[in-house]
């Protein structure tokens, strides 16, 4: 196998990113709106071209003393290379910078792989809840999707 170093930068999502973030789902434009209202921070991880390889947000509204990570997406072409871990670390730093001491997130019970990643990064499951969102279909359309989410949290100090 040949390995290529991939310099990554993390920054806030901008309107210029939206046309090239279609792969990340319909929640990305809403993330930009929520960031403008101060309800969330919404980040992108970019490769050397400056184009986003990953997107994800931290929601400030659900827990007064924590931030909730949401809508984490790494482009499928660069998964399992550490990009998601970089994104999660940057979102956790935003939570610390805001003076909050806990990260929360919910993970679909139908998708065991992300939960393994979060547990390896120090998250612990403590409950579950019913959730739903618009899910991107292979044909580019979106369809409502409901499921049970396992709730995880991680102390940040
Ligand atoms: C979940 C998700 C965000 C993780 O992103 P990612 O970039 O693949 O995550 P990482 O590469 O940091 O870690 C994932 C795997 O790569 C491995 N890995 C981490 N760094 C690595 C590296 N430098 N080289 C090779 N593998 C590495 C990890 O061990 C982990 O292994 P696993 O597949 O057994 O869990 C991504 O898979 C995704 O977008 N999934 C679809 C949407 C989704 O499910 N979002 C989560 C909602 S809660």
Can you tell me the distance from the alpha carbon of 72 to that of 141, in angstroms, rounded to the nearest whole number? 19
Q: What pLDDT was estimated at residue 112?
A: 85
Question: Within a domain: residue 1?
Answer: no
Q: Strands across the sheet with 102-108, in order?
A: 9-12, 40-46, 52-59, 67-74, 102-108, 142-155, 124-136
Question: Within a domain: residue 2?
Answer: no
Can you tell me the distance from the alpha carbon of 10 to that of 46, in angstroms, rounded to the nearest whole number? 6
Q: How far is the CA of 111 from the centre of ligand 1 (A)?
A: 12
> How many distinct structural domains can be found in the chain?
1
How close are the terminal C-alpha atoms of the chain, in Å? Answer: 38
DSSP string, 114-145: HHHHHHHTT-EEEEEEEEEEEEEPTTS-EEEE
Q: How far is the CA of 81 from the centre of ligand 1 (A)?
A: 7
42-95 pLDDT, tens digit each: 999 999 999 999 999 999 999 999 999 999 999 999 999 999 999 999 999 999
**Cα torsion through 18, 21, 25, 31, rounded to 10:** -50
Q: For ligand 1, atom 10, which residue shows the shortest CA distance?
A: 82
SS3 63: coil
Question: Within a domain: residue 130?
Answer: yes
Mean pLDDT for the stretch of residues 104-126: 95
Q: In this structure, are residues 48 and 7 in contact, taking their beta carbons and an 8 Å threshold?
A: yes
Question: Within a domain: residue 145?
Answer: yes
Task: Indicate the top mutation candidate among 80, 113, 129 to test ligand 1's pocket, ranked by most ligand atoms within 8 A of CB.
Answer: 80
State which residues form the domain around 105: 9-155
Q: What is the pTM of this model?
A: 0.93
**Residue ranges lining ligand 1, Cβ < 6 Å:** 72-74, 79-85, 107, 111, 113-114, 116-117
Q: Of the given ranges (4-13, 16-25, 52-61, 131-140), which has the lowest mean pLDDT?
A: 131-140
Q: For ligand 1, atom 15, which residue shows the shortest CA distance?
A: 80
Question: Within a domain: residue 3?
Answer: no
């Amino acid at each position: 196998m040949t390995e290529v170093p991939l310099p990554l930068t993390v920054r806030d999502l901008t309107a210029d990113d939206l046309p090239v973030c279609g792969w990340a789902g319909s929640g990305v434009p809403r993330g930009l709106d929520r960031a403008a209202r101060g309800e969330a921070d919404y980040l992108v991880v970019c490769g050397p071209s400056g184009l986003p390889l990953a997107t994800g947000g931290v929601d400030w509204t659900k827990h007064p003393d924590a931030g909730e990570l949401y809508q984490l997406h790494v482009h499928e072409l660069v998964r399992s290379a550490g990009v998601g871990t970089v994104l999660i670390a940057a979102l956790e730093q935003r939570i610390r910078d805001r003076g909050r001491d806990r990260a929360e997130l919910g993970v679909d019970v139908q998708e065991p792989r992300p939960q393994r990643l979060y547990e390896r990064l120090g998250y612990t499951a403590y409950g579950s809840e019913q959730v739903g969102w618009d899910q991107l279909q292979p044909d580019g359309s979106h369809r409502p999707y409901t499921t049970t989410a396992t709730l995880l949290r991680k102390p940040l100090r």
